[in-house]
Structure 1
C-alpha cells in the first residue's frame, strides 16, 4: 500500500513538472522566443493578441458612421446592413494627433474629392426684386399760374394720353382780366410812359401769357376772358387734381403728365448685394405680367444712400418702352452676373467644402507627403458668397488642398475617433446613437429660433395656397419625374407670385422679401431644368427658405412635417416638407424612400 501511495506522489510531481515546463516553453516561444522567428518579428506577446474579435462587437453603417450599436443589424436610417467598426490609425510619422488617415479603399468608397485653393476674381449671380417706376426726367407737373375758376375741362379721366400743346383746361381769372385792362390802358401811353407799358407786359408774361397773346390783346383792345392750360410734353395724364367748376389759387396743382416712352426699373439691393453690383453691369430681368418676354439692360445708377429702415439701396436700369407695355408699379425679378466690384483676386473655396455650425466654418485640409489620404480639421473665416463658392477671409493659403466631396463623411470619421471635428472642435470623444440630424451643416445655421408673427389672415391663406402647390411638386420629386417637377415648379412660382407682399408691414415685410430672394430663383431654376439631380440641389435650397416662411407666418388650418435626410445634397443633408408624418424621401425616391426622419411639426 505504501508503495502504491509513493508511486502516485512520484507520478503527480512528474505531471506538475511537465506541466510547468510546457507553460514555460510556450511562454518563451510566443513571447521572448518570438524574436527569432519571422512570425514573432511582426507581433509581440500581448500586442500579438488578436483584439479584432473584441473590437468587432461595435457595429456601424458605412453610409451613416454616426450610428454605433453593440450588435449587428440594420441601419435605423437607411436600412443597410451594419458592418464591424475598425479603427483607422494615423501613420507613425504624423506629428499632429488630430490628423485623420484614410485608406485608399475607404477614400474611394466615401467618394472623397479634393481641389487646390486658388486666387481668383470672385463672381456671383445676384437675384434682385424691384418695380417699374416713372422716369423722373419725363414728369411734368402743371400748376395754376394765376387764380380763377375752371370753365372747361378737356381731360376727363386719369390715364388719358395727350400730345405737346394739347388743351387740358380753360380758366376764367378776374385777376388776369384786370391785368389785361392795365396793359390796354398803358398801351395808350407807351410813347410817353414806356416804363409803365413794359411793366404791364411783363406782368402778363410772368403769368405764362405768350408774346403773341399779349400782342393780340393789345391789338383787339379788349381783354380775353378765358385762357387755356396746355400740356408742355407728350405723355399720359397720371394725376388730375381739379374738376369742372373748381376754383384754384395761384400755384395750385392741376395735372401731372408723364412720358412713358422710357421707364426706370428700380431694383432693391441689400447691403450684402452691393459689393457685387457696379455701374454698367448687365441685368437680365423678367416681368411676371409679361411672362412671354425677357428683358435686359445695364445698371445706370446705384443709390449712394441706403434706406435706414429697409436697409436697401436702389439700383436703376433704364428701359425703352415702345407701345407702353411696361406699366409703372409692375413687379420685376432680375439677375446680375458680376465680378466683385473691387475686381481683386481672392481665395475661393467651393461651398461643398465648407461645413457650418452656425458659429464656425470648417474645412478639411489634405496633409501633404502622406502615403495614405490624410486630412486635418481647419476653422476658417468666410467672406461673401460668390456663386457656388465662398471667399475666404482668413484660415487658408493659396496652394493648399481641401476636400470638396465627402467632407461630411470625413468629419463623421473624425468624430468617431475622438479627433477635432465640426461638432467637437476640442477633439473630445463622443458617443453617438440614433441622432442623425445634428451633424448636418444646415441645422444650426438655417434653423435658428424663429418667432411666429401675426400677419393679415389673407396673407396666410395665400401662403397656404402656395404650400399646396409645393406639395404637388414634392410628389413629382418622390416619383423622380423631372418633367413633372418642372411643370409643378412653374405652377408653384405662379402661386408664389399671387402672394401679396403689400399685406405685410415692417419687419415681417422685410423678412418675406429676404425669403423671396431664395424662393423665386430656386423655383425658376427647378422649372427651367429637366435634370432631376440639378432640380434636387435647388430643392434643398428652396426648403431652407420655405422653413423660415412657414415657421414665421404659419399655415391656414393646416399642419406640415419638416423632415430631413442626412444623405441628400451630396451627403450634407437636406430638408423637405410633407403633409404626412410618414417618410417619403423626395431626394432619392424609390431608391431609399423611407430614409429620413421628422425634425419638426409646424401647425
Structure 2
C-alpha cells in the first residue's frame, strides 16, 4: 500500500514539473518572438540627472520621463562636463549648502595704516627781514603753544630803530612811505600803528607769532646775531591734523572724498578719532602703484595739550559705501584658474557650473556683473569638491589630443639657440643681484636686458608663442630702490619663464634651472602668490623677490 502511494505522489510531481517547464519555454519563445526590450530606468530629456526606476514625470519641468533600454546610453547628465549630479547621500556627506544670489548694498571695511601729520596749510616759518640781534626770547623751547600775535622775541636792529624814529617825527605822505618801509622790515600793521605810543628810549621791536600753534623748530638763542633771511622759528597749527595713508589701484573704485574714516593710534589705545577724506592725490607712485589719501581730524586741547601728536603712526578703517548690486558670498566663488565660477543648484541633486564676471569685493560678498541672475541658488559649502568632480567629468569625456612636440613646432636654429643662451645669462645676473639685495648689481645687469631680450624675441617669432608679455617687460632704466626693482623684475621673469619653459622641456635651450616661490605676494603687494625665476646651474638658489630676508624660499621646477 505504501509503495502504491509513493508511486502516485512521484507521478504527480513529475507531471507538475513538466507543466512548469513547458510554460517557461513557451513564455521565453513568445518574448523572443515579439522582440520585447527591458527598460533599465526612466530619465528626463530636459533634466537628464532626474532618473527613476519606474515611469513618471520630471520633478522639475513636469515632462514625462523617457525609458532607457538595455544597450542604450541615455541622455548626457553632465551637461558637457559642466553639470555634476549627486545623490542625496552624497549631498549630505559633502555638507552641500546653498545661498541665493541677491541684490543688496556691498559692504567693505578697508583697513589702512599711515602717519599723523600737521596741516600744511597752517604751517609757518619765521625768518628775519633785516640784519639784527636777538636780545631776548619770550618762547625758548620747542613744543611751546603760542597764540597769534604773541611776542616770540625782542629784536634789535639799528636800521629798524632809525625807521621807527623817522615814523614818529614825519607826517603826511612821508609818514605813510615810512610805514610802508617798516612793513618791509617785518613789522605788522598793528605794531606800526602803536609806534607813536612806544617809549622813545625803547631799542628793540618784538617778533610776533603769525598764527596760533605749536613751536616745532627754534633756530636762535638770546644774544645771537642773525642775517637777512635766516630762519628763526617754525610754527605748526595742530588743532587740525592730517592722517595720511596710501591707497592702491584696486581700492580706488571704493574711495572718494567725504567718506568717514575711524583712526586709532597705539599712543591712545582706548580712544578713536573720526574724520572725513578731504583729498586724494591724483599722482600715483609708479613703483608701488599707490597714491596718498588725506583725512582731516580735529585735535583740540585737552588739559593743556594736544591728544594727537605730530608724526604718530596710526591705523584707519575706511567705512566704504556702495549702492545695491547683485552679490554672492565670497565662499561661493572659485578662482582656481583664469575664470571665476560658481555652481548653481538646479534641484534634483544637479549642480551646474556658471562662469562669472565679478566686480568689487566686499567683506563677505562679491559683486556679480554677469553670469547670474537674482534668486539663483549658488553652492557656498562643498563647491570645491563639486568642482573637482566636474573636472574629472570633463577629463573622462574629452579624448586626448595628439600634439606636435615643441621641438618639431619650433625647429630652432643655432642663431636662435644662441640668443636664448645670451638672454639666460642676463636674466640670471639680474636675479642674482636681487638675491643679494644689491641694487647696483641689478641695475648694471639689467642694462643689456632691453637689447638682448629684443633680439631673442625677434629671432623666435613666430615659431615660439607667449613672447608679447616678455617684449613689453624688457625695458629697464635703473631704479632708486629695491622695491621698485623687484616689481619690474617680477613682470619680466614671469613672462620669461612662461616663454622658455616649453622650450626647455623640448631640449631646445642651454642648461638652466627654474625655481618657484609661493609667497611672492608678501614681498610684492598686488601680485599672485606664485612666481618663477631663471637661474644657471653655477650658483645656489637665491630668491630675488625676498633677497637675503628669505633667500632659500623656493623649490626647483623640473623639466
Q: TM-score, normalised by structure 2?
A: 0.57
- 1:409 corresponds to 2:385: yes
Separation in 1, partners of 2:259, 2:225:
50
Separation in 2, partners of 1:92, 1:176:
104
Separation in 2, partners of 1:212, 1:275:
51
Q: In the TM superposition, what are the counterparts of 1:308-319 in structure 2 within 5 Å?
A: 308-309=285-286, 310=288, 311-319=290-298
Alignment partner of 2:316 out of 305, 319, 334: 334
Alignment partner of 1:174 out of 144, 155, 158: 158
Deviation at 1:36, TM superposition (A): 8.2
Q: Evaluate the alpha carbon distance shift between residue 256 and residue 358 of structure 1 in structure 2; reply closer, same or farther with a 3 A threshold.
A: farther
Q: Evaluate the alpha carbon distance shift between residue 256 and residue 29 of structure 1 in structure 2; reply closer, same or farther with a 3 A threshold.
A: farther
Deviation at 1:296, TM superposition (A): 3.5
Provide the residue aligned with 1:305 in structure 2. Answer: 282
Alignment partner of 2:107 out of 94, 99, 123: 123
Where in structure 1 are there 5+ consecutive unaligned residues? Answer: 1-24, 45-88, 421-425, 431-450, 457-503, 512-542, 563-598
Alignment partner of 1:262 out of 218, 240, 243: 240
Deviations 1:115-147 (A, max 9, x none): 222222222111111110112344333232333
Alignment partner of 1:41 out of 38, 41, 50: 38
**Is the 8 Å Cα contact of residues 417 and 429 (structure 1) preserved in structure 2?**
no
Separation in 1, partners of 2:391, 2:32:
40
Q: In the TM superposition, what are the counterparts of 1:580-595 in structure 2 within 5 Å?
A: none
**Is the 8 Å Cα contact of residues 281 and 291 (structure 2) preserved in structure 1?**
no
Deviations 1:470-526 (A, max 9, x none): xxxxxxxxxxxxxxxxxxxxxxxxxxxxxxxxxx86438999xxxxxxxxxxxxxxx
Count of residues in Structure 1 that have an aligned counterpart in Structure 2: 381
Separation in 2, partners of 1:558, 1:34:
81
Provide the residue aligned with 1:238 in structure 2. Answer: 216
Q: Evaluate the alpha carbon distance shift between residue 184 and residue 261 of structure 1 in structure 2; reply closer, same or farther with a 3 A threshold.
A: closer
Separation in 1, partners of 2:88, 2:141:
79
Q: In the TM superposition, what are the counterparts of 1:283-432 in structure 2 within 5 Å?
A: 283-290=261-268, 292-303=269-280, 305-309=282-286, 310=288, 311-321=290-300, 322=302, 323-340=305-322, 343=323, 345-367=324-346, 372-418=348-394
Provide the residue aligned with 1:553 in structure 2. Answer: 546
Q: Secondary structure at the match of 1:180?
A: helix
Deviation at 1:305, TM superposition (A): 1.8
Separation in 1, partners of 2:368, 2:191:
72
**Is the 8 Å Cα contact of residues 184 and 222 (structure 1) preserved in structure 2?**
no
Deviations 1:413-464 (A, max 9, x none): 12222269xxxxx96679xxxxxxxxxxxxxxxxxxxx766559xxxxxxxx
Provide the residue aligned with 1:114 in structure 2. Answer: 98
- 1:103 corresponds to 2:79: no
Separation in 2, partners of 1:224, 1:121:
71
Q: Evaluate the alpha carbon distance shift between residue 211 and residue 314 of structure 1 in structure 2; reply closer, same or farther with a 3 A threshold.
A: closer
Separation in 2, partners of 1:354, 1:148:
74
Q: Evaluate the alpha carbon distance shift between residue 236 and residue 96 of structure 1 in structure 2; reply closer, same or farther with a 3 A threshold.
A: same
Q: Secondary structure at the match of 2:143?
A: coil
Deviation at 1:222, TM superposition (A): 5.0
Provide the residue aligned with 2:117 in structure 1. Answer: 133
RMSD: 4.4
Separation in 2, partners of 1:118, 1:127:
26
Q: Evaluate the alpha carbon distance shift between residue 234 and residue 95 of structure 1 in structure 2; reply closer, same or farther with a 3 A threshold.
A: closer
Q: Evaluate the alpha carbon distance shift between residue 30 and residue 283 of structure 1 in structure 2; reply closer, same or farther with a 3 A threshold.
A: farther
Deviations 1:230-257 (A, max 9, x none): 2234432102233455544445432111
**Is the 8 Å Cα contact of residues 244 and 294 (structure 2) preserved in structure 1?**
yes
**Is the 8 Å Cα contact of residues 78 and 84 (structure 2) preserved in structure 1?**
no
**Is the 8 Å Cα contact of residues 104 and 327 (structure 2) preserved in structure 1?**
yes
